[in-house]
Amino acid sequence: MSRFYSAVDLVAGIIVIFARLVIIVSGIALTVVTTANVVARYASASGGLSFAQELPMLMFPWFIIAGIIIAAHAGGHMAVEWLYEKLDGGARTTALIVANAISVAAFVVLAYQATVVAEIAGAERSPVLQLPNSIGYYSLSIGAVLVSIVTIAASARVLRLGWDHRLEIKPEEIAL
C-alpha cells in the first residue's frame, strides 16, 4: 500500500510541476504577444498583429486551469476551511474526504461535458490561425482530470499521514 501512496504523490508532483511550467510559459507568451501587438499597433499602419487577438484566447484557458491545478493540490480550490476548524479528529478527516470526493466527482463530470462541447466546437476554426475552437474546451477537460488527480492525492496524503500533513495555502508562501 505504501507504494501506491508513493506513486500517487509522484504523479501529483509531476502534475504540479507541469502546471507551473504551463503558467510560466503561457504567462510569458501572453505578455510578449500582448506587448508586441501594442507596439505593432502604434508602429505600423496595419493596426497590429492579426494573430495577436486569437493567440491569447487560446492560451488563457491553459493559464487559468494550471492555476486551478496548483490551488487544488495545495487544498485551496473550493476550500471549506471554516468547517474543518470546527471539527476534530476523524470527523475533520471525514469532512475533507467527503468534500474532496464531491469535488472530484464534479470535476470528472466537467471534464466529460467539456469534451462533448469541444467535439462540437472543433468544427469551427479561428479566422487567422485556423486552429480549432475546441482548444479551450480541451484545456478545461484535461485540467479538470488533473484537478481530480491532485485532489485524490491530497486525500490520500491525509489518509496515510494524518491531518497535520495536509497541504494548506498560505498567501505569503504562494509562488510558482
> pLDDT value at position 172?
58
> pLDDT value at position 77?
60
Residues in the chain: 176
Average pLDDT of the chain is 87
For 22-59, b where at least 16 C-beta lie within 10 A, e where not — what string? bbeebeeebeebeeebeeeeeeeeeebbebbebbbebb
Ranges 57-61, 125-129, 145-149, most confident? 145-149
Distance separating alpha carbons of residues 140 and 77, to the nearest angstrom:
15
Element (H, E) at 6: helix 2-43
Distance separating alpha carbons of residues 10 and 21, to the nearest angstrom:
17
Distance separating alpha carbons of residues 80 and 121, to the nearest angstrom:
35
Statement: residue 117 has pLDDT above 60: yes
Statement: residue 122 has pLDDT above 80: yes
Give the start-to-end residue ranges of the domains of the chain.
2-173
The residue written with cell numbers 507541469 in the block is 18
